[in-house]
Structure 1
């Protein structure tokens, strides 16, 4: 791990708080940018089976020159593979595609069928079989987060969800804390919407930083993991340059106050489930 990077300890595992996301990166870009991100100092890489770039992510890791043991690598089980046998097959396929055993294997979205018991049982089997070091969730509201942990023998070390200044995640962050888990923020920069925000811009100017840097720092200071994605090396370097300043309590509160009811950008959850109200 880069000496300037901050990390969380969950279930005796060390998770770097600032990661590099690869959603929507075509294989060539994923290969190039993963290697570049690791050279910059990132030590946490996030991908998923459904992104169709796991093999390229593995290439990027190998091309970076950074030792595999110094990297936290996450991938996800797609919802079509939640039955026991299909889940174990995909876990094997992902490890083969990456060329590495992932550190963390997540369930990508909650699904009504098969049962949580079957899927969580299979996810624990994948861990027991050495197909991942740890397991977790993605896009689970608080009720389903608690239900999943109750059904899981192993700790669910994170819940990866959309989180940025235009969403309040207080309930889900409190749930994660109560369960001894963590929150990982996807689309942490609100898909670029923070760039023109007046409040964030004012705070950024006061610190001599960019709106993106301020937003990522806001997440890190909450004890949240963030996984910004970019196809530009200069933007990846900018996003990583957040370790030399700190936001005040007032700064933090002003950014929290930007949350709004219509702030969600990626609402693909099954209609059987309901997001937390705040």
Structure 2
């Protein structure tokens, strides 16, 4: 069968599984909290910035409103959607019938959580894939065949993980713990203006290329996303110059102020200047 187990691991011989699970939780759980806080800060900033740049007032309780919006969106997603539960951490755990060693497949999109798991004592990298001859550093062809045989025993036949391995999940819900949703703590994790403006600035330039300059939508998106032209930094900096400082007071009490009406004209001007520099590249035939 075709086998691609990129995050496969084997535990040190003699490892007690209950003790191991406790170790995983004690290390990964607080890291998940920190990553959840970062996520909550990003969602809060997006909530505030989108309204501010649209000329709308920021409502009182903006952080709670941002979380509610995010939580509702998560509830409507499939577990297979790209943006669903970005900080999940799961393990499939089974015993190799040939050696008695505990085998593990880890699943985590967040590299902070995955990297922490890899560094745990008793965890040995033991991935295997049959679509390339490139082995991990320090792994010989003989080692590779041992891995192949072990995973063939662990996942026989069609290789359905659920048939031979149990699932262990760090959290049983995507929800962010209520005690983490503290306004003062969220503010500490808010990104700086340039980082907050990056996505909006890149989107603004891609939209300008497509809607105002007639560039094919996919070409416009790829031109911006893959950095095929001049730096989009001038547009991003223009957006950043209009963003508010996010303080505990702002996201608690809200604001009656609207953004300076010069925002759209300033962004359009920055996009036009950048397009002039990019015309030659955009005219090139791929």
Provide TM-score, normalisation by structure 1: 0.21
Greater strand fraction, Structure 1 or Structure 2: 1
Larger radius of gyration between Structure 1 and Structure 2: 2
Provide TM-score, normalisation by structure 2: 0.20
